[in-house]
Every structure is written in C-alpha cells, then in structure tokens.
Amino acid sequence: MATVYGVDLVPTAVWRISAELVLALDEHLGPPVDSYVNGSQTWLVGDEPDKGIPDDDSLVIEFRMHPVAGYRLPAKFSHYDVWETVVTQLSQRVDPQALRLGSEVRPLSGLWDGLEAFPAYGDEIEPALLASLVTTALTLAPDRTGLVDHQAIGDEWERSNGKVSIVALLIDQLAT
C-alpha cells in the first residue's frame, strides 16, 4: 500500500465479468473461500506455487468477485449456491445471458460486474508485479491495473446502499 497526499492507495488488478473469467477462476482457484449475501465471492491465494503466487509466506492476494450495483439474491436461493450453479451451467455451455437460478433467469452480467485482485493484508507490491502474478494465477490478464483508493470506493458504495458498481468505481480510478 502506498500513501499519496495522505490517501492510502492499494495495488489492484481488475477484470470485467465474462464467462471466460468465471471458468478461469473455477479452474485455477477452485471454489471461493467465502460467499456473501451481498453477492461477493472471495478467494485468498498465497504460498501456493501451483497458483502462481510466490511461496514465501509473505504475500496473500485476495481475489474478490464484485456484485452488480443493487444486487439482489435470486429468490429462494442461498448465497452459497450461486457460484456453483453458475459455474456448472457455464461449464455445460449454457448461454451466459440466460442462467437459471432457481425460478429466475439472469444474465451473468446481472450477477457480477467483475473481479478485483489486491494484496490481502496491505503488502507493498508494484502494480506491474501484481498484474504479472495474477495473470499467471488465472492465465487471464486483467483489463486494468494500478493504484486505487479503497476507502473512497467503500465510502461511495456504503453511501449509495450498494447501488453503485464497485468495478465501475475501480475502473474509473484506474483510468485517471
């Protein structure tokens, strides 16, 4: 983490949502270590040389799938079941625009906006090195990398009661 003008900036890599991204996560990282009611899915990857992250016990990267703005859990569905249901359907080549979740049909882009990867515990790492590590881990390069102000993004998401896209806020910061 770098501090610039009193603002803590976090090295970050971001991917926009796609079926290819979901299947790469499943293939290379496996199921999420946690699923949240707000739609987030999380993986923690570190000291696992087979996943492309250095085996030095000092760097853990968090991969977090961010839900769409205003995310709503599918009716009569557990937040623990969403990921596996989506992965199963995408693996069976179901149209990503027509995923069946219980009694609902939703597009993949109606569940998640994209994926963010960052040092889980505030470790200092250059964005270019982070991009290289996460590209190796997923075999899929991020759409954007750089430094972001997580505090400002979190504050905006809280202020809007989850009605803004975290991925859009990340991309906006990475584009400036």
63-122 residue pLDDT tens = 999 999 999 999 888 888 999 999 999 999 999 999 999 899 999 999 999 999 999 988
Q: For the residues 159-173, what does the mean pLDDT come to?
A: 95
H or E segment to which residue 150 belongs: helix 150-159
The pTM is what? 0.90
Q: Is pLDDT above 60 for 52?
A: no
Q: How confident is the model at residue 160 (pLDDT cuts 50, 70, 90)?
A: very high
Residue of 145, 140, 131, 138 lying closest to 50 (CA atoms): 138
For residue 128, with 0-12 CB atoms within 10 Å meaning exposed, 13-18 middle and 19 or more buried, which class applies? Answer: exposed
Share of the chain above pLDDT 70, in %: 90
Question: What Cα–Cα distance (Å) separates residue 9 from each residue in 13, 28, 103?
Answer: 13, 28, 42
Q: For the residues 120-133, what does the mean pLDDT come to?
A: 92
Residue of 100, 112, 157, 120 lying closest to 15 (CA atoms): 112
3 state DSSP class of 137: helix
Q: How confident is the model at residue 1 (pLDDT cuts 50, 70, 90)?
A: low
